[in-house]
Structure 1
Amino acid sequence: MNTLPLRRLLQAGLLFLGLNSGAQGQGFFGFGGDEQTPSLTLAPAQVAVDIPTPVQGNNLAVLLAQAGSDNSLSALKEAAARKFSDLLERKWRDRLQAFFADEEVPLVQRDGFLTMQSYLNVIVSKQLTDLKPSGDREVEWGLLELSGDFHYQLKNTSGELLHEELLKIADLRVQEKYRIETRRDGSKIEDTTDAAIERALEELVDRLQDRIEDNIEADQLREWASL
């Protein structure tokens, strides 16, 4: 009996099984299996926060006194905008890193199989609700509201866009109360504006994650990587 054809058939069958099991583990393009998750690079988020300049009552006098002869209101506003932009960029980066750590997604500094790029353009507007004199003091109450746009993209190693999403920040309805109390001479007693902006940005990060997390969890990233 000639066993050569049978031996060749067995060898071909074993080769097919080996190749097939490897393809199932990696997916046709390297991913798509139930266990392997693509590496991800978080590109630095592009963040811009525009904040209001308080001009009600004695707050303008306070700002002018702070500005002095070498500065201007616009310079003060730009410095504050940079501070809050850096704060938001840091909060967003930390939140994404924590999220992907929970999802067991391998994060790499560069050359990840996927790259996530975020864009945050945030406008902080002030809505005055009350302004009252109280003896030698003036008290301002109001709301801070966030608007603008949030946009993120997922791309593969060749730069091909796999997924993107755009959100209107106003739809998230982020608001925080603030209070400013000044003396008649313009000296400030209390101003909770900065703290209110920080709370609003923290709330924004929470709500953005809630909106997009289903599209960036590990299972979904494996699907994007297999496209």
Structure 2
Amino acid sequence: MKIRNAYKFLFTIPLLFGFATTGHAQGGWFGGDDEYRPSLLLQPSEITFAGPTPMDGQNLQLLLSLPNGLGELQRQASAQFEAHLQNEIQAHLTELFNDEEIPLVENSGELVLDSAVEISIRQQIREVKKFDRYDSERGSLKVYGKFRYTLRDRQGAMLDQQQVDLEKLGVERRYLTRTPRDGGMVEDSTGPAVEKVLSDLVDEIIDVVEDRLEAGKLQQLALKTQSP
């Protein structure tokens, strides 16, 4: 009888140990939520962009002579800048959630993050000079508008939202344009300057919103939606 009880005791120890280890791996001893990470669906950002049209490599006289030549160039530039901004936003948010160990999914996330950007980049001319062969213009690019995100559960109920005034972030870059007087090709650094402005802008936006998108905050919001 004593031998049988001893065998039962020896058999029970690994079972208890295995149960405790499994419970801890699932989020703390006996069902805690310390390790819980809600899945998140990151939606593409809605972007409304207005900004300067880079003229680098263009013959201004020829461009103005073409039907809708300048309009088509503006459309192409806006599409390029919107794509650059979209890539920057998605890359930075993905990096943020990866650092927080939040699993990103392609559908049916426990949380859904939508974002929108309304942005206007304006040129502020600082200096105009005329030379024998070309005219030059120096200035800066300043950003106006707003960034907004909304965080919802999978049923669409609002959990959190935040809006950022882009002008207050103080992002600015310089540009230089040289336009030949003989109708030759324009030299213009506006295009790269706009892309740098957009990249810098996203860095600043993430610095503002990251505290409210950390794992602990998302965990609390997701658990609230699961409460009876």
Q: Aligned match of 1:162 in 159, 163, 168?
A: 159
The 5-angstrom pairing of residues 35-54 of structure 1 reads: 35-53=35-53
- Structure 1 residue 190: deviation in Å? 2.1
Alignment partner, residue 108 of structure 2: 111
Give the alignment of 1:33-182 within 5 angstroms. Answer: 33-53=33-53, 62-63=59-60, 65-66=62-63, 69-182=66-179
Residue equivalent to 2:4: none
Shift of 1:202: 0.5
Amino acid aligned to 1:122: I
Partner residue of 1:16?
none
- What SS does the aligned partner of 1:92 have? helix
Q: Provide the secondary structure at the position in 2 that maps to 1:151.
A: strand
Contact 1:64 1:72 in 2 (8 A): no
Following TM superposition, where does structure 1 have runs of at least 4 consecutive aligned residues deviating by more than 6 angstroms? none
Structure 1 alignment gaps of length 5 or more: 1-20
| Number of corresponding residues | 199
Letter in 2 for 1:38: P
TM-score, normalised with respect to structure 1: 0.80
Counterpart contact for 2:125–2:140, Cα < 8 Å: yes
Identical-pair percentage = 33
What SS is found at the alignment partner of 2:105? coil
The aligned counterpart of 1:187 is 184
CA shift for structure 1 position 73: 2.1
Partner of 1:4: none
Mapped partners of 1:51, 1:115: distance in 2: 30
Counterpart AA for 2:102: V
Instruction: State the superposition RMSD in angstroms.
Output: 2.6
Match of 2:206 in 1: 209
Q: Could you tell me whether the CA contact under 8 Å between 1:67 and 1:76 is conserved in 2?
A: no
Show structure 2 runs of 5+ residues with no match.
Answer: 1-22
The code of the aligned residue for 1:201 comes to L
